[in-house]
């Protein structure tokens, strides 16, 4: 009996139906010589550190860096995993052949290889199903050309190395920075990919904050209701522009040159996942995770091809299928497709290029017409379908006119664009005039007349904050600002993360309170900024280019061009470098005390205390070293600035002379106060914080402490957290068994919530 392992139950059902397997069993479907079973995504994961050494349950610097000689695996604690795994293991052990039918990509390969390793089935004959669509014809074609599993060993090496590298760097960097610099704030999570992404956001925010606008002047004139700009784009001094203004006032402007150029603009390339996420964020404000979830659902419903792709091209063998796909889509896009000859479609190298396709081609419709989609699903499907139709349309033809004018030997220019033939642009509502675009009248060389010049005072502007669209672009090109599609394609090999993981990286940063979403903007939180400050000496951890280079090596490994041992040797060396750097006295001295709570400038030491380095520009933050009858030392200041209070209670003297035991603390306005160990909860708080004894308040998205970073989210795995439940967790440490949670895959589950070290965790006992 041949056993097929799919990644999800829905995919297993489709495969079973196509192969004629009809008999439903517990955890698999049987028939026609096949047993089709399934995982729930990642059933198997890497063991935690204490599985290697119980002493590693305690977070200390002593054992770091910790790097296992070989990695151990364990089952996920998600409900139902143990039972399904035992079914898979039993089927594998009795099989004559195993067929890997997990998603055709790095993570799909990892899911299968980890399950196979834990099932100990190395000697079983095994093959690989590799498909980019779940239509019946694609599944049949895939099974007609199954490949030996060993053909994908290089891909498996890259998958394992990605998993193990993230484990090594994440474990060692997170533990080391938490032990050294947490100051009671909980875990400081550091990751191979997430941290450089955070650094991009922090650096952009700081660049905007530190930006000082500079004045400059522009010289414009209006002739025949058309605006002309002086060819010296900017004047640094107002006098320079004013002198020219006086020179040309009341003098005639002469048209000296007219240049007309025609251009032909092809339709944009097809979607890969990142470009689809950018487009939906720009047009519909969809978060990247939402676009991915919708695209995955459309794929599993067989409406589109595999969405987790980083290619924007189709292989040449897809071309013959495009006409039939368009014919099927005519029922929902009659006007758009009727002008095309589907029997003789245009084939351009811009879109059909087998050398540009690796694992999967660009995202396109399969031709299956959706029967019922909700509004958001319709938006995503519409964009994918319209982009596909557009590649067969004629190019958009434009005429660009540049007119030069002279007045008293001073040169001015204006530009205008006219769309001659809309072509593919008609699919998007035709030629829309840009807000700065002018429709020019007919000019002739030598004509002249009066004009109306003026000097405009302008200011330089800071760069824009990141939104999801611009951050996805920056991740794709390792932090480089690139608009050109061809250059973007060249940089993809060195991007941060993969098309399939970028959305989850952004959400991870939000969940860990390193960044926040303010409408459409992504902004760094004080916690995120402080982490990047602490990591200042760890360039490889914060550099998009260097981390992107690692991703590039993983892609080369998939092609068999980089050896796994060489890559992991580099990772192990980097783990040692992280710890050595962190233990360096020079590095610790260079870190300083931290950032000002009012303006984020560095805090410095003065004669009698500490204060903001930006005091000359008006920042008022400062405090005396002698506070409440106790002395604040240099080593105390980072904890006070980052955690909002000192780590240990002291004997302190209140303003009335009363001695109390409490913590020297700092509020968000930078004012020091005593937080007594027996501090009472304020009237509007729901409870006392279990970490710092501050006030846990009912805020917009969470029940959060007003003095530290403790928070219980109001939505946990799709289930609403009530105030009474939050109080139970804070006061008792655990809830009763609760229903109504939903996994990322959409599966409902029940669990006990446990509050451990200030974090809410699931308990499935």
Mean local confidence (pLDDT), 541-552: 85
> 215-266+396-459 in CATH: which number?
2.70.20.10
- Residue with the larger pLDDT of the pair 295 and 685: 295
**Other C-beta atoms lying within 10 Å of the C-beta of residue 71:** 17
User: Is pLDDT at 243 greater than 80 in this prediction?
Assistant: yes
User: Is pLDDT at 656 greater than 50 in this prediction?
Assistant: yes
**Other C-beta atoms lying within 10 Å of the C-beta of residue 500:** 20
Query: Among 86-90, 173-177, 251-255, 407-411, whose mean pLDDT is lowest?
Result: 173-177
User: Is pLDDT at 490 greater than 60 in this prediction?
Assistant: no
**Residue 114, CA atoms < 13 Å, CB-side half-sphere:** 28
Quote the pLDDT of residue 376: 97
Catalytic residues: 306
The overall average pLDDT reported for the chain is 90
* CATH among 3.30.1330.10, 3.30.420.40, 3.40.605.10, 3.40.50.140 for 2-156: 3.40.50.140
| Sequence ranges of the domains in the chain | 2-156, 162-210+464-590, 215-266+396-459, 273-390, 592-679, 684-765
pTM for the full predicted model: 0.78
How far apart, in whole angstroms, are the C-alpha atoms of residue 686 and residue 695?
8
* CATH 1.10.290.10 assigned to 273-390: yes
- Residue with the larger pLDDT of the pair 187 and 117: 117
CATH class of 162-210+464-590: mainly alpha
Mean local confidence (pLDDT), 481-499: 70
For 618-649, what is each residue's pLDDT tens digit? 999 999 999 999 999 887 888 788 777 786 77
Mean local confidence (pLDDT), 227-256: 96
Q: How confident is the model at residue 272 (pLDDT cuts 50, 70, 90)?
A: very high
Q: How confident is the model at residue 296 (pLDDT cuts 50, 70, 90)?
A: very high
How far apart, in whole angstroms, are the C-alpha atoms of residue 755 and residue 712?
9
- Residue with the larger pLDDT of the pair 388 and 546: 388
Q: How confident is the model at residue 690 (pLDDT cuts 50, 70, 90)?
A: confident
Quote the pLDDT of residue 176: 92
Mean local confidence (pLDDT), 413-417: 94
Torsion of CA 267, 269, 272, 274, to 10 degrees: -80
First-residue to last-residue Cα distance in the chain: 36
Query: Among 311-320, 364-373, 522-531, whose mean pLDDT is lowest?
Result: 522-531
List, in sequence order, the alpha helices (H) in 584-686: 585-590, 637-643
User: Is pLDDT at 680 greater than 50 in this prediction?
Assistant: no
Cis-peptide, bond into residue 65, ω within 30° of zero = yes
Burial group, residue 70, by CB count within 10 angstroms (0-12, 13-18, 19+): exposed
How far apart, in whole angstroms, are the C-alpha atoms of residue 21 and residue 35?
8
DSSP-derived secondary structure for 486-547: HHHHHHGGG-SS-TTTHHHHHHHHHHTTSEEEETTEEEE-HHHHHHHHHTTT-HHHH-HHHH
User: Is pLDDT at 162 greater than 60 in this prediction?
Assistant: yes
Q: How confident is the model at residue 594 (pLDDT cuts 50, 70, 90)?
A: confident
Q: How confident is the model at residue 682 (pLDDT cuts 50, 70, 90)?
A: low
Q: How confident is the model at residue 692 (pLDDT cuts 50, 70, 90)?
A: low
Nearest to 492, CA basis, from 551, 448, 447: 551
Distance set, CA 596 to CA 178, 512, 593, 615, 629 (Å) = 21, 22, 9, 11, 24
User: Is pLDDT at 363 greater than 70 in this prediction?
Assistant: yes
Question: Long-range contacts: 670-676, Cβ < 8 Å, 24+?
Answer: 670/596, 670/597, 670/598, 670/621, 670/623, 672/623, 672/627, 672/628, 672/640, 674/628, 675/645, 675/707
Quote the pLDDT of residue 489: 63
- Residue with the larger pLDDT of the pair 235 and 739: 235
Mean local confidence (pLDDT), 178-206: 88
Mean local confidence (pLDDT), 454-473: 95
Nearest to 255, CA basis, from 451, 404, 453: 404
Report the range out of 107-116, 432-441, 547-556 with the highest average pLDDT: 107-116
Residues of the chain above pLDDT 70, percent:
94
């Amino acid at each position: 009996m041949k056993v097929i392992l799919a990644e999800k139950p829905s995919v297993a059902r489709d495969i079973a139906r196509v192969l004629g397997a009809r008999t439903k069993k517990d955890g698999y479907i049987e028939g026609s010589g096949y047993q089709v079973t399934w995982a729930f995504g990642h059933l198997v994961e890497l063991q935690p550190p204490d599985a290697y050494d119980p002493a590693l349950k305690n977070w200390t610097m002593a054992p770091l860096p910790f790097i296992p000689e070989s990695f151990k695996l364990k089952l996920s604690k998600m409900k139902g995993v143990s039972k399904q795994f035992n079914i898979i293991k039993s089927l594998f052990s009795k099989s004559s052949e195993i067929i890997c039918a997990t998603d055709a990509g790095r993570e799909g390969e990892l899911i299968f290889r980890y399950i196979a390793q834990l099932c100990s089935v190395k000697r079983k004959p095994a093959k690989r199903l590799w498909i980019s669509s779940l239509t019946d014809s694609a599944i049949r074609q895939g099974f007609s050309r199954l490949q030996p599993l060993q053909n994908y060993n290089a891909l498996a090496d890259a998958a394992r190395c990605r998993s193990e590298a993230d484990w090594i760097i994440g474990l060692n960097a997170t533990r080391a920075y938490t032990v050294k610099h947490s100051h009671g704030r909980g875990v400081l999570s550091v990751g191979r990919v997430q941290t450089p992404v955070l650094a991009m956001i922090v650096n952009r925010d700081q660049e905007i904050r530190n930006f000082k606008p500079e004045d400059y002047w522009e010289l414009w004139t209006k002739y025949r209701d058309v605006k002309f700009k002086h060819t010296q784009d900017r004047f640094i001094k107002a006098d320079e522009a004013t002198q020219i203004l006086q020179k040309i006032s009341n003098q005639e402007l002469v048209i000296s040159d007219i240049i007309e150029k025609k251009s032909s603009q092809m339709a944009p390339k097809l979607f890969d996942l990142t470009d689809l996420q950018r487009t939906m964020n720009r047009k519909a404000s969809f978060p990247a995770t939402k676009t991915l979830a919708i695209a995955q659902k459309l794929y599993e419903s067989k409406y589109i091809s595999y969405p987790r792709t980083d290619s924007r091209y189709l292989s040449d063998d897809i071309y013959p299928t495009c006409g039939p796909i368009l014919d099927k889509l005519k029922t929902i896009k009659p006007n758009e497709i009727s002008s095309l000859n589907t029997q003789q479609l245009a084939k351009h190298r811009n879109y059909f290029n087998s050398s540009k396709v690796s694992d999967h081609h660009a995202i396109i419709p399969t031709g299956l017409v959706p029967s019922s989609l909700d509004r958001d699903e319709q938006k995503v499907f519409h964009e994918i379908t319209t982009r596909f139709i557009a590649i067969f349309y004629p190019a958009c033809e434009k005429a660009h006119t540049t007119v030069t004018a002279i007045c008293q030997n001073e040169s001015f220019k204006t530009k205008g664009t006219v769309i001659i033939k809309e072509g593919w642009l008609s699919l998007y509502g035709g030629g829309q005039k840009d807000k700065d675009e002018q429709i020019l009248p007919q000019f002739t060389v030598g004509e002249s007349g009066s004009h109306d010049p003026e000097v405009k005072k302008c200011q330089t502007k800071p760069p824009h904050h990141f939104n999801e669209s611009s951050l996805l672009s920056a991740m794709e090109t390792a932090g480089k600002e690139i608009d050109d599609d061809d250059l973007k394609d060249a940089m993809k090999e060195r991007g941060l993360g993969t098309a399939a993981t970028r959305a989850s990286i952004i959400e991870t940063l939000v969940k860990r309170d390193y960044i926040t979403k303010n409408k459409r903007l992504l902004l760094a939180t004080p916690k995120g900024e402080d982490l990047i400050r602490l990591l200042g000496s760890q360039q490889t951890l914060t550099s998009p280019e260097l981390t992107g280079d690692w991703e590039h090596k993983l892609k080369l490994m998939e092609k068999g061009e980089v050896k796994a041992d060489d890559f992991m040797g580099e990772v192990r060396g980097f783990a040692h470098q992280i710890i050595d750097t962190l233990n360096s006295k020079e590095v610790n001295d260079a870190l300083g005390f931290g950032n000002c709570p009012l303006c984020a400038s560095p805090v410095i030491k003065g004669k009698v205390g500490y204060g903001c380095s930006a005091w000359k520009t008006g920042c008022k933050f400062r405090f005396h070293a002698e506070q409440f009858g106790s002395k604040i030392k240099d080593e105390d200041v980072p904890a006070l600035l980052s955690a909002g209070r000192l780590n240990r209670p002291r004997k302190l003297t209140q303003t009335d002379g009363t001695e109390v035991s409490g913590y020297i603390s700092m509020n968000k306005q930078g004012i020091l106060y005593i937080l007594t160990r027996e501090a009472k909860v304020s009237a509007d708080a729901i409870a006392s914080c279990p970490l710092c004894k501050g006030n846990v308040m009912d805020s917009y998205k969470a029940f959060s402490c007003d003095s530290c970073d403790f928070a219980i989210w109001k939505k946990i795995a799709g289930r609403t957290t009530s105030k009474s439940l939050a109080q139970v967790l804070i006061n008792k440490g655990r809830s009763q068994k609760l229903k109504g949670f939903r996994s990322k895959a959409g599966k409902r589950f029940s669990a006990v919530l446990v509050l451990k070290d200030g974090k809410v965790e699931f308990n499935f006992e």
